[in-house]
Amino acid sequence: MEWRDDGLILGTRKHGETSVIVEAMTRAHGRHFGLVRGGRSKRMQPMLQPGNHAEFVWRARIEEHLGTFSVEPMKLRTARLMASAEALHAVCLVAALLRLAAERDPHPKLYEAAVQIAGSIERPEILPLLLVRFEAEILSQMGFGLDLESCAATGTCEDLIYVSPKSGRAVSKAAGEPYKARLLPLPAFLRDQAAKDPGPAEIRDGFRLTGFFLLRRLFGPRGEALPEARSAYLAELEKRLG
């Protein structure tokens, strides 16, 4: 068995005295593991850090085996990540969320979004927008997508500013006014893909919204809290937003 694919390194763990097992999110083969022989060497370690983009060749005798990875670096980001706590936590959050996906289950949209985030670590002003949209896409790909196209109460597509915490559906301003204390704010950039410059309040509303449903629909049922990387990223973000 053999395939070749692009991938984003999510993490590694030691294996034996000289090797590591690499976890990568690949374009066509999903989240995949592979053994890298000699991966703990001084030459290989910088190539195998989370956030790096590489070309992988996976080989195994049969499909069910762990298999081995040959790794050809395409984009190394370790130095940039070490220079920015916000960027480092953003990449770690992406990795934690991608682990919700079943191993070897392709998710091209998640792959492309993760690569975009990793490629934007030098632009902290756009990272929050990308991350909130990524969290919303995680919910969608895992079967719990938010329905933000029309009002749950009236069917209108206009003036949607709330989300029902029960159904995950949008609610219009008029329909939601009597219950607004129980509804979640819906930032416009989650409905308008052309939006590029949400303000701090919208960013906070976005993370509040996706965080609520990530915990309720994905992490909570597994008996888990939201990833530590998420709270660490949000703490760094608040320092910048003031």
Tens digit of each residue's pLDDT, the chain (242 residues)? 999 999 999 999 999 999 999 999 999 999 999 999 999 999 999 999 999 999 999 999 999 999 999 999 999 999 999 999 999 999 999 999 999 999 999 999 999 999 999 999 999 999 999 999 999 999 999 999 999 999 999 999 999 999 999 999 999 999 999 999 999 999 999 998 887 789 999 999 999 999 999 999 999 999 999 999 999 999 999 999 87
Q: Domain range for residue 47?
A: 2-76
Query: Tell me: the pLDDT tens digits for 118-161?
Result: 999 999 999 999 999 999 999 999 999 999 999 999 999 999 99
Domain stops at, among 47, 76, 105: 76
Q: Examine residue 157 and state whether it is found in any structural domain, yes or no.
A: no
Q: Answer whether 11's CB lies under 8 Å from 95's CB.
A: yes
Would you give the distance in Å from CA 45 to the centre of its chain? 24
In a domain, 209, yes or no: yes
pTM of the prediction? 0.96
Q: Which residue has the tokens 């992988």?
A: 56
Look at residues 25, 52, 76 and tell me which one is the last residue of a structural domain: 76
Cα separation, 242 vs 238, whole angstroms: 6
Angle at alpha carbon of residue 214, lines to 211 and 219, rounded to 5°: 125
**Residue 18: inside a domain:** yes
Same domain membership, residue 142 and residue 38 = no
Count of domains forming the chain: 2
H helix intervals, the chain: 78-82, 85-98, 108-118, 127-141, 173-176, 200-214, 228-241
Does residue 68 share a domain with residue 28? yes
Q: 233 and 122, same structural domain?
A: yes
